[in-house]
Structure formats: structure tokens, C-alpha cells
């Protein structure tokens, strides 16, 4: 079993990676009080049953999968159900699912009785690589992604490579794009793994490398005042592409891939990135309207009014931050 410990201001917690670790969840978590399970209906029933068999007395709240459900209404229903089951401060929430399930369960745990423990069991490559550690929990509000939430670190994260076997190739690569991003911004060796045809044989190592990168970033900058922003490489345009195309055209990682292609200045690195994305079957360019994308970025409810902090990569493994004017944001799409 691989193990790392994330040290944060309020909590230190272990991240464990092992094939089949889902079957050992109870033995590893060893909860002292009651357990409340949160999942979504996109998670294969066999993973949910595996967890329920270990916690037969625990209720499981299953909400509809997808970003549409990541809202205050679902959050309220979960909290009401937790209350109806008499969950107390010493009890625990366990999230089983992708990024949305982790966000929902994490934010419910963060807010219920001013905060109770939660354990994250990510079931997608995207959540295993990125969102399951670091303590960002949130729901969307009036079209603003992750507008209401909290930094609330999990008590443990269990990463089971076996649960990824039920993902389609497209979903799998959706998450791997975030690993490509971490290679470009932090680790040339990680990026180089994607430049070889056999990268799928090394997925467990790729995920473990990403978890270690994320641990270091979160330990230095839990609240995203500096270094953690580097994890947003490709997301400035990527989020705008997601909004522009809606929920049914491109996946998050695909938009991030196109977002990295849009923002990349260095032509040599851009060419290498294009080859990597094409090898993964991901889109590299889109036909979005420049003005509308620029408008979405500059009118993002969370953006400052006259500039945007972007991430740039001029040398692989060394991402850095730049302040761009709105004009720079618009012009970059013309090249």
C-alpha cells in the first residue's frame, strides 16, 4: 500500500493508494461514531454495494450525477437527511464518487453542526488525480461555479485503482488531462510519461505522482494565495469553454486541454502538448467565438474587473503566474 500524509493547518491526513482498497474501507477508516454515505447515481452500483456491505447500518444519500446537481438544493437535502438520521458532531460522512460527490459530501460535512469529519473515496481519474485532496468543497450558485463552499480537509482519502476500470476511455482521459497539466506546471518527468505510447500501463504511478505534487502544493498554500493557483493552468479559457458549450459537448478535462493549448506561448511546448492530447484522443482546438469567450472570462463573477491572473508555462515543469489585461485575454485567441 502506498501512503502519504498531507499536513495542513487544522488537520493532518493520510492518502492511501492500493488496488482493492475500497473493500478495506471500514478496517482502514475505523470510525468511532455513526457513518453517513454520500454518492451519486453515476457511480456503479457494485462500488456502492461494496461500501454499504461494510457499513450496513449507514444511510446512503444518492443524488443525480453531474454538475447540475451541485447546488444549494442538493446540499440542503443532504443536510436535512443527515439531521433526520440524527448525525452528531462525532459522526462522519464518507464520499464515494467523482469530484461532484466529493464537493457535495465535503461541503455538507464542513457545514453540518459547524463541521464534522469526512472521508473521500474518489471513483474517477479526475477526482483521484486532483479534487479528492486539498480540502476544496463547494456548490455552484446562479451559474457561478464553486461560488459557495469551504476549505474543509478530509480525514482520509482512499484511492483504489480498481474502481477506475468501469470508466469509459473518454472519462478516463478526461481526468488524465489534469495529470498532463501537473506535468507541465510541476514535473517534466510526469509530462514525459505522456509522450510515450505506453502511458496507460503507468496510470497508478501517474496518479501517485499527482497526489504527491498536490500534497506539496496544498501544504505550502492551502488557501490558494499563490502557488496553488498554478493548478489552474488551462482553466482560464477551459472554464469559459465549459460554460460556452454547456454540459453536453465537452468534458471538463477536454476543455482544460484546449485551454492549455490556447494560452500556451511557447511553440515547441505547444507542439508537444498537442501530440500528447491527440494521443489521448482529446480535442486540441475548438470553434468557440473569441468575443464570447473573452466576455465570459472577463465577466466571470469571481474575476477582478481589470485583469486576470493566468498560469503560463515557458519551460516544462515550471509554471508561473502572470497578470493579464482583458485585451491580452481577447488577443490570445486570435493567434
Q: What 3-state class would DSSP assign to 34? A: coil
252 touches ligand GLY by CB under 6 A = no
Q: What 3-state class would DSSP assign to 227? A: helix
Q: What's the Cα-to-Cα distance from 199 to each of 175, 282, 327, rounded to whole Å? A: 14, 15, 38
145 touches ligand GLY by CB under 6 A = no
251 touches ligand GLY by CB under 6 A = no
# of chain residues touching ligand GLY (CB under 6 A): 7
- Residue 169's CB: how many other CB atoms inside 10 A? 10
Q: Which residue's CB is nearer to ligand GLY, number 130 or number 187?
A: 130
| CB 255, min distance to ligand GLY, A | 14
| CB 13, min distance to ligand GLY, A | 15
Helix axes 169-186, 252-263, angle to 10 degrees: 40
The Cα 324–Cα 102 span in angstroms is 32
Q: What's the Cα-to-Cα distance from 181 to each of 184, 194, 256, rounded to whole Å? A: 5, 11, 8
Among the candidate windows 8-16, 139-147, 224-232, 251-259, which touches ligand GLY by CB under 6 A? 224-232
Q: First CA to last CA across the chain, in angstroms? A: 47
228 touches ligand GLY by CB under 6 A = yes
Q: Which residue's CB is nearer to ligand GLY, number 24 or number 145?
A: 145
242 touches ligand GLY by CB under 6 A = no
Binding mask 80-119 for ligand GLY (x = CB under 6 A): ----------------------------------------
35 DSSP 8-state letter = E
| CB 87, min distance to ligand GLY, A | 26
Q: What 3-state class would DSSP assign to 60? A: strand
Q: Which residues between 125 and 144 bind ligand GLY (CB under 6 A)?
A: 130-131, 134, 136
Q: Which residues bind ligand GLY (CB under 6 A)?
A: 130-131, 134, 136, 224, 228, 231
Amino acid at each position: 500500500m502506498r501512503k502519504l500524509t498531507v499536513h495542513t493547518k487544522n488537520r493532518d491526513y493520510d492518502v492511501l493508494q492500493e488496488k482493492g482498497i475500497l473493500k478495506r474501507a471500514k478496517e482502514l477508516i475505523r470510525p468511532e461514531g455513526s457513518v453517513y454515505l454520500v454518492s451519486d447515481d453515476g457511480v456503479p452500483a457494485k462500488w456502492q454495494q461494496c461500501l454499504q456491505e461494510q457499513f450496513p447500518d449507514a444511510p446512503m444519500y444518492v443524488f443525480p450525477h453531474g454538475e447540475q446537481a451541485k447546488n444549494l438544493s442538493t446540499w440542503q437535502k443532504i443536510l436535512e437527511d443527515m439531521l433526520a438520521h440524527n448525525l452528531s458532531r462525532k459522526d462522519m460522512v464518507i464520499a464515494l464518487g467523482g469530484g461532484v460527490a466529493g464537493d457535495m459530501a465535503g461541503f455538507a460535512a464542513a457545514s453540518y453542526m459547524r463541521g464534522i469529519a469526512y472521508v473521500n473515496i474518489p471513483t474517477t481519474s479526475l477526482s483521484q488525480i486532483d479534487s479528492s485532496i486539498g480540502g476544496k468543497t463547494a456548490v455552484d450558485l446562479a451559474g457561478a461555479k464553486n461560488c459557495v463552499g469551504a476549505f474543509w480537509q478530509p480525514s482520509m482519502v482512499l484511492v483504489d485503482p480498481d474502481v477506475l476500470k468501469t470508466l469509459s476511455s473518454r472519462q478516463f482521459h478526461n481526468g488524465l488531462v489534469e495529470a498532463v497539466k501537473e506535468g507541465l506546471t510541476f514535473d517534466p518527468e510526469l509530462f514525459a510519461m505522456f509522450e510515450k505510447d505506453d502511458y496507460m500501463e503507468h496510470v497508478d504511478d501517474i496518479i501517485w505522482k499527482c497526489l504527491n505534487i498536490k500534497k506539496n502544493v496544498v501544504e505550502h498554500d492551502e488557501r490558494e494565495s499563490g502557488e496553488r493557483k498554478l493548478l489552474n493552468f488551462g482553466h482560464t479559457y477551459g472554464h469559459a469553454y465549459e460554460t460556452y458549450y454547456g454540459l453536453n459537448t465537452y468534458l471538463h478535462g477536454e476543455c482544460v486541454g484546449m485551454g492549455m493549448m490556447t494560452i500556451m506561448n511557447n511553440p515547441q511546448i505547444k507542439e508537444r502538448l498537442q501530440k500528447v492530447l491527440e494521443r489521448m484522443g482529446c480535442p486540441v482546438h475548438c470553434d468557440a467565438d473569441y468575443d464570447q469567450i473573452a466576455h465570459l472570462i472577463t465577466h466571470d463573477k469571481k474575476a477582478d474587473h481589470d485583469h486576470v491572473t493566468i498560469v503560463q508555462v515557458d519551460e516544462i515543469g515550471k509554471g508561473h503566474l502572470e497578470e493579464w489585461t482583458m485585451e491580452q485575454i481577447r488577443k490570445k485567441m486570435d493567434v
